Amino acid sequence: MVDKKFTADNSQLMKKKNKFSQAFANKILLKCIACCIIFFSLEFSTDFVEIGLGKMMDLTNPLRPKVGTFWEKNKKDQLANDRLNEIAKNLPISNNDFSAMIDLKQLGDLLEKEPSVLLSPEQFRNIYNQIPSRFAFDIISPFDFLKLSHSRKWAWTKISKGENSLSFYFLDGDKQLLMDTYPPLTILFNAPEANNLQLAKLDSMPMFQGRTFSREQFFAAFDELSDPVKLQLINNPYLLIKWEPNIRKVAISRYATQNVVLLGFEIVQNIYSEIYTFEASELAVNFLIARLNEIFPALGLAFPEKNYYEYQNYEFQ
């Protein structure tokens, strides 16, 4: 009797324990589910708050003052891009047919008459292939040329002439700017003519006409200047050592653009000649001219005239 009663009590106790364990397990499960629901609710609500704040900042962005380094840099980049597109688009285009153009000499002659010249990619490629590589690189590097050609966007090349440089604007079919370069004007005078020797002369360049002098005159004045002034005239003096016996003439540009003046050197290379230029400090050039006029009064060189571009006060950074 006692055993049966003990067994029954144990059985009831085990049932109570099982029910308690099951209830406890259910409570843990419910708590876990509740925690997950709360976590995801908070996560999604945070996302909604972030999206809401982002939308609010986007809507109020035009109202906030645009100050600070980021805004200034972004503004300058945008203005520079707009300015370049405006320059490329607004340059007048001649209606003349340039399909017969074959060399840079003809291009130079046309730029004396026309404000700008518009070429197809094939015409530009034909001219580019006739230019010695050391000068062609100044117009556009071969890698950039290939990239431009392979993009299939390049439709036109607009060329205009300034006082000291050329402007090349590579445009798409809608006349939007793809790339721009500003090689020195001397490339027009360094291009070899077909079946002729290259005889580049400083006197044939409008910027240097009437402002040339001999090698001896140049070094007589140059040697008496201080070293800092010399470096502001010639940033690579080792070239003077290399060229010295072969310098035929030296010239100083008629104009100063943004405190820069061009110095031209006519170098004899065996049976032909080439022209090289340096961008010199206007102040250093004035020292050189003053010394030249003092030693050689007959030269009567005038100081360079200020030449302002319409965008001179704008900083392209």
**Secondary structure of 49-109 as H, E, C letters:** HHHHHHHHHHHHHHHCCCCCHHHHHHHHHHHHHHHHHHHHHHCCCCCCCCCCCCCHHHHHH
d(CA 11, CA 131) in angstroms, rounded, equals 107
Residues 295 and 246 in one domain: yes
How far is 30 from 107, CA to CA, in rounded Å? 86
Last residue of a domain, one of 136, 151, 181: 181
Question: Structurally, how many domains does the chain consist of?
Answer: 3
Q: Do 118 and 46 sit in the same domain of this protein?
A: no
Which residues have C-beta within 8 Å of that of residue 134, sequence separation ≥ 6?
Answer: none
- Round to whole Å and give the CA distance between 116 and 122: 18
- Residues 162 and 209 reside in one and the same domain: no
The domain in which residue 166 lies consists of 96-181
Give yes or no: residues 170 and 208 share one domain: no
Give the residue ranges of the chain where pLDDT is below 50: 2, 93-97, 194-197, 309-317
Residue 5: phi and psi, rounded to 5, are: -65, -40
- Tell me which amino acid residue 5 is: K
Same domain, 273 and 299: yes
Q: Are residues 107 and 204 in the same domain?
A: no
Give the C-alpha separation, 191 to 135, whole Å.
8
174 shares its domain with 145: yes
Establish if 108 belongs to a structural domain. Answer: yes
| Residue 229 forms part of a structural domain | yes
Domain membership flag for residue 42 = yes
Which pairing describes strands 255-256 and 305-306: parallel, antiparallel, or unpaired? Answer: parallel
Instruction: Using the CB atoms, write b or e for 51-80: b if 16+ within 10 Å.
Output: eeeeeeeeeeeeeeeeeeeeeeeeeeeeee
Domain assignment present for residue 88? The answer is no
Domain membership of residue 268 (yes or no) is yes
User: Looking at the domain assignment, is residue 313 inside a domain?
Assistant: no
Residue 66 is assigned to a structural domain of this protein: no
Is residue 213 located within the same domain as residue 293? yes
Kindly state whether residue 189 falls inside one of the protein's structural domains: no
Task: Judge if 114 and 150 occupy the same domain.
Answer: yes
Looking at the structure, tell me whether residues 299 and 258 fall in a common domain.
yes
pLDDT for the residue 125:
84
Instruction: Name the domain boundary from 150, 181, 212.
Output: 181
Which of 16, 37, 52 lies at the terminal end of a domain, its last residue? 52
Same domain assignment for residues 173 and 201: no
Domain check: are 108 and 171 in the same one? yes
